Chains A and B, each alone.
Chain A
Amino acid sequence: MPKKILISGNEALAYGAIHAGCRFYAGYPITPQNELTAYMAKCMPEIGGIFIQAESELAAINMVFGAAATGARTMTSSSSPGMSLKQEGISYIAGAELPAVIVNVMRGGPGLGNIAPAQSDYFQATRSGGHGDYRCLVLAPSSVQEAYDFMQIAFGLADKYRNPVIILGDGMLGQMMEPIEVGSGKLKYSPPKDWALTGCKNRKPNVVKSFFLKEGALEEANLKLQKKYKIIQNKEERYEGDSLAGAETIIVAYGTMARIAKGVVHELRKKGKKIGLIRPITLWPFPRKVFQGITARKKRPVFLVIEMSYGQMLEDVKLSVEGRARVEFLGRSGGGIPTEEEIIKKIKSL
Chain B
Amino acid sequence: MAKIIINKDRCKGCLLCVSFCPKGSIKVDNNFNRQGVKPVKFDDNPECLGCMMCAIICPDCCIEVWK
* A touching B, CB within 8 angstroms: no
A-to-B contact residues, CB < 8 Å: none
